[in-house]
Structure 1
């Protein structure tokens, strides 16, 4: 697997001042968004955030993605650390298929049922680029911002020590309630 990487650039944002670096794996491009003090941290706070265009960019209320991303960026700009923006839309089924899954959800399916009905696994994500980013940035020990036990399991499996888990709890609304229940009941998210 060949992964290309960019130089590091400054990224001032509404959340704070960051440095940013891009990684290209096949046809997907991922981001490392680092606090200004990132290189001085022994155990940086880290959020591996899975891309969600409808939530992150359009503010969809069907999920908690934008709220989790905002929470992580605000927290990391103050406490120091890294957000890995993992560009595998819709649990890596792609945007077109994610919208088809939305249509099935409109008919009463949950996110898992919709993915399965479309011929996908319940979660198609591949985290190999995360390992590459940790190695590239010389990260061996972190404080992980997540609710997802599979991300904890994966990070432990690649030899990165998780010294603390910080929950990423956001507001429940009438549109994301079923989505969050599916994450909790089917995937074991710690909500």
Structure 2
């Protein structure tokens, strides 16, 4: 992970049952640039995933866009700056979106190409056994119609609430989380409660 916003988003996805892959390199496919880029996070959530601690508390900001009991894949871009242009989002390019779809592994080569065309202009596409969506996490309000838009404040509120709801379990295990930021958030919650 490169920055705090991507790290917050990583834990947001993890606490919602996803298995995220960070900074997935989108190698240049030669369409309009000779530069490679990355998708901030790719994540998969199998339909039967379950976690004892927090498994019932999922964020509707994501799941209102998907069907129940289905495998989900997401391609997530995180922008912590105030101004966002769609040209700054690598997965708006067809070759890069196709590359990310192929990596998620839900589609064959030809199927990814077909679904990429649908996903380019839609926030979620539906298959028989899976759905794939594009999520855009931003500092401020976002209204890009081709993305599930969530703000960094909403991400932070969700994580903070999860820590509060499961303070004993999370607090007792805080040093096992591989994130200094998450360890700090758990510690701060415990400290504030004691004061």
Tell me if both proteins adopt one fold, taking TM over 0.5 as the criterion: no
User: Is the radius of gyration larger for structure 1 or structure 2?
Assistant: 2
Structure (1/2) with the larger strand percentage: 1
- TM-score normalised to structure 2 length: 0.31
- Please report the TM-score for the alignment, with normalisation by the length of structure 1: 0.31
